[in-house]
Chains A and B, each alone.
Chain A
Amino acid sequence: MSRVILRNFIRNFSSASATVPRTATTTVTQPDSTTLQKATVQPTVLKPYVSKSLQNEQDLFGFEKAVHIDEMFKARLHFGHKIGTVHENMKWALYGERLGVCIFDLETTKKYLVRALNFIAHVSMRGGMILFVTSNRDSMFDVEKAAEEVNQYSHVRKWQSGTLTNTRQLLGASVRLPDTIVFMSTLTSLGESHPAIVEATKMAIPTIGIVDSNSDPAYLTYLIPANDDTPNSTEYLLRLFKMAVKKGQEERKRQQQQEPGK
């Protein structure tokens, strides 16, 4: 594939940059058309074809042990909104309602959180760019700071339409888009879904979203059902996200030191 087209793909799919070490370089068999078709329904059928680091260990970074229900509880992750505001597609994540207040089942939240952390760490290990987004004004500084601490990016102000889909118009040159976007809150102050969610989906960028009981999970890739309003909850989640990014970066460094040729 020519360089130009490749660059196009980098822009459109935030594809792996050429510097990313791929185990696939040692001519691994490619999936055939039938397998790919099956994969659209059952992605895991492609597992034999993907990189080695994903073959054996399901929880390579050990997040299962790093996430504790009692810490989540203390950080108030289980508090949802009043039942009058509930989104039908969030009921699956609730333990129940206490006198009109939605309560998340943190056992469920933990499963989803561990999966999202694993995703972030693996993307980070592959040198991916991660963008943290929030529309919550109380936590914008915390989100900015957390992203900076792990050399990643944040967007906490008003979203200009086309920031992801119309980069050429807005920014001139072709720009590398993020490889994953993490939404610390998904609703704007008007109660609508953050415009970046659909833009990311258009550009085939995976999204991770903290979804509260009143959030709409549509278009988000990885969901984390939890309280997105209380600072304690956001701080706790940011701490875990930072840890995931760092673990990925450390693993990347370790791999690069092992095979300095690449």
Chain B
Amino acid sequence: MAQFVARTERSGNIFSRVTGLIRAGQLSWSDRPLWYDVYVSSPPLSPPDWNVKLAKHGEPIRPIFYEEDVLRAKFYKKYRNTAAIQIDSSKQSISQQFLNEYQIIKNENPTEENKEEEEIFEKTEKRLQENGITLK
């Protein structure tokens, strides 16, 4: 009998099926499965039902983009062959050093806020070269 009820995996999630058995008297409360109490105290965060639509079903995925990506793209366009990145190293990539330096230079000249971006870009190039970073 227990087999009959238990194997209909679409009739409900495992918890509601076992609970149903207990309610119907087919399974005694003291013989409930070992995991049952744990489930009660911390049930799954998402409904464990096979046919539910979880959040954001059918929605577009949000693109991840940041402000700094614009300058980054500009940098890579020019220096496609310089800035090799080692992802598993804690050392900063050249592109990031460039971005940081660019920001510093931009902040250094608050009065010239409307300065051409080109000019800051060139200044940053120069600054990095002075620090021994060869850009090609």
Contacts and interface: CB of A to CB of B under 8 A. Distances in A.
A254 interface: no
A115 B42 contact: yes
Interface in B61-97: 61-64
B22 interface: yes
Contact of B40 (A20, A30, A44, A123): A44
A122 B33 CA distance: 13
A1 interface: yes
Contacts, number: 175
Interface residues of B, number: 52
A98 interface: yes
Interface residues of A, number: 71
A106 interface: no
A255 interface: no
A217 B54 contact: yes
A83 B61 contact: yes
B48 A221 contact: yes
Q: Is the interface of B mostly helix, strand, loop or mixed?
A: loop
Contacts of A221: 13-14, 39, 44, 48
Interface stretch (B23-31, B106-114, B126-134): B23-31
A87 B127 CA distance: 47
Contact of B61 (A9, A20, A96): A96
B14 A43 contact: no
Nearest to A50: B37
Nearest to A89: B54
Contact of B31 (A9, A165, A223): A9
A119 B50 contact: no
14 contacts: A15-B34, A16-B32, A16-B33, A22-B30, A33-B23, A43-B40, A43-B43, A46-B40, A88-B58, A123-B34, A198-B9, A204-B17, A222-B48, A223-B45
Interface of B: 2-3, 6-9, 12-20, 22-23, 27-46, 48, 50-59, 61-64
Interface of A: 1, 6, 8-9, 12-17, 20, 22, 24, 30-31, 33, 36-37, 39-40, 43-44, 46-47, 49-51, 54-55, 58, 83, 86, 88-92, 94-98, 102-103, 111-112, 115, 118-119, 122-123, 126-128, 165, 179-180, 198, 201-206, 217-223
Which 5 A-B pairs have CB atoms at the shortest separation, nearest pair first?
A50-B37, A92-B55, A54-B41, A91-B56, A40-B16
